[in-house]
């Protein structure tokens, strides 16, 4: 008897998945290994930045009062008493109508309160002249204007990107506390599957889901163990799943979650005593996406159809992994765009269309990236976003405003809003 499954809304499925995200603890790592990790502690400024008043330009450090009255008809002369390069300091205060030649980043000398850019001067035998007055503080980068000692700079839960690395280095964080990353297991099921290097045979297809999931994990910096391909055999599949669960923090399977005679994942979940969070989602593609938990471990049962598999990973698996790492912004960023093609047929399920977004003279436009059935592969390769078409009784036409989710974005958002 075929099991009748009741689909749940996508937002409800996301909520159920995220409710079970269990942090894996923390560890200290060197700054050279910190990219892509999630901060487990806030970053606090250990000192002021800049740590002293400095010059933002190459030019001359002067006393502003000495430039009063300067104009095109009354050029004011200054004599240069020395030079200050970055990393050096002036050896004496400047006096009336005196100046230091100063380089970008160098400390402002005593008594100086303005910097004249090089191109604003006319050179003389012993210095330069000015044609305009300068105000106190002009062209000076003041101590602490970027960050004050003790200031909260980055919240815990933030993803470490190259800019974060620069900040860590600036404040002397040679090591930083980060959340531990999970290890994922990958298992592709289906008697029809061949290895990538195999020649095609009648009734067979090459396994594209396994390599694709590995790449999606690599994009997140997540280590994985591959359990290869399993034929449609209940006992053999159960043994592999048991082994994978024991060795990893989450298991991603592809295929075997539908209601066919050879779709064994539901039976395996039952054998293991796993709690099924849902086994059907009101979405296309990927309606048969199934997620279960066993203890504190996830079992992601993704569709065997490539586009559905890809979409299920991005919607459910990716944010769950980021939440396990303590990430505060685990969801794909969303923005609006003009629909570039008609979708006139109503659909009772929310559709996620593999698409490409571009800037046009009329704003952002998103159009399907190619063939868009759930078994499509080509559109995954071409797309850089997912067009979201809500369920309902009407279709959509070119020019309609729609939501799009940005695939592969380094920075996410904190809330699911669709």
- Report pLDDT digits (tens) over 291-346: 999 999 999 999 999 999 999 999 999 999 999 999 999 999 999 999 999 988 88
pLDDT over 90 at 273, yes or no: yes
Given a contact cutoff of 8 angstroms between Cβ atoms, the answer to whether 219 and 409 are in contact is no
**Which tokens in the block code for residue 344?**
């006139």
* Residue tagged 């009648």 (tokens): 202
**Measuring CA to CA, which residue among 211, 230, 229, 220 is closest to residue 306?**
211
Partnered with residue 337 across adjacent β-strands are 402
Alpha carbon distance 256, 275 (integer Å): 17
Residue 297 main-chain phi, psi, to 5 deg: -115, 140
Alpha carbon distance 106, 127 (integer Å): 19
**Measuring CA to CA, which residue among 171, 125, 179, 120 is closest to residue 146?**
171
Q: What is the pLDDT confidence band of residue 1, given thresholds at 50, 70 and 90? A: very low
pLDDT at residue 4, as a whole number: 66
| Residue pLDDT, tens place only, 368-415 | 997 776 667 888 999 999 999 999 878 899 999 999 999 999 889 999
As a whole number, the mean pLDDT across the chain is 94
- Maximum C-alpha span of the chain: 100
Model-level pTM? Answer: 0.89
Pairing of β 98-102 and β 76-84: parallel
- Helices (H) then strands (E): counts for the chain: 8, 24
């Amino acid at each position: 008897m075929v099991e009748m499954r009741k689909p749940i809304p996508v937002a409800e499925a996301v909520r159920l998945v995220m409710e079970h995200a269990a942090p894996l603890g923390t560890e200290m790592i060197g700054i050279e290994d910190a990219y892509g990790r999630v901060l487990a502690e806030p970053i606090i400024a250990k000192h002021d930045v800049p740590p002293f008043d400095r010059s933002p330009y190459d030019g001359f450090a002067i006393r502003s009062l000495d430039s009063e009255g300067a104009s095109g008809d009354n050029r004011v002369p200054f004599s240069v008493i020395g030079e200050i390069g970055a990393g050096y300091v002036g050896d004496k205060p400047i006096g009336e109508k005196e100046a230091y030649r100063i380089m970008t980043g160098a400390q402002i000398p005593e008594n100086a309160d303005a910097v004249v850019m090089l191109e604003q001067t006319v050179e003389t035998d012993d210095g330069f002249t000015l044609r305009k007055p300068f105000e106190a503080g002009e062209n000076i980068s003041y101590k602490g204007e970027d960050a004050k000692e003790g200031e909260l700079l980055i919240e815990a839960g933030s993803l470490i990107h190259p800019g974060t690395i620069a900040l860590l280095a600036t404040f002397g964080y040679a090591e930083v506390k980060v959340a531990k990353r999970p290890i994922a297991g990958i298992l592709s099921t289906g008697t029809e599957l061949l290895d990538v290097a195999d020649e095609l045979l009648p009734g067979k297809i090459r396994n594209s889901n396994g390599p694709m999931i590995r790449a999606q994990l690599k994009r997140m910096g997540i280590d994985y163990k591959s359990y290869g391909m399993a034929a449609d055999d209940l006992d053999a599949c159960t043994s592999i799943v048991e082994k994978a669960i024991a060795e990893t923090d989450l298991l991603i399977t592809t295929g075997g979650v539908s209601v066919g005679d050879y779709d064994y994942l539901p039976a395996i979940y039952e054998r293991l005593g796993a709690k099924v969070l849902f086994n059907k989602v009101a979405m296309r593609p990927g309606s048969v996406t199934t997620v279960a938990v066993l203890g504190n471990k996830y079992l992601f049962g993704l569709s065997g159809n490539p586009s559905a598999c890809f979409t299920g990973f991005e919607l459910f698996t990716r944010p769950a992994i980021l939440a396990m790492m303590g990430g505060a912004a685990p969801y794909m960023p969303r923005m609006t765009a003009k629909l570039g093609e008609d979708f006139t047929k109503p659909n009772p399920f929310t559709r996620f269309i593999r698409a490409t977004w571009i800037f046009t003279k009329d704003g952002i436009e998103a159009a399907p990236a190619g063939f868009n059935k759930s078994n499509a592969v080509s559109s995954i390769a071409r797309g850089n976003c997912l067009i979201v078409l809500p369920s309902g009784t009407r279709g959509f036409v070119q020019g309609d405003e729609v939501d799009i989710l940005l695939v592969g974005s380094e920075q996410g958002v904190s809330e699911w809003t669709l």
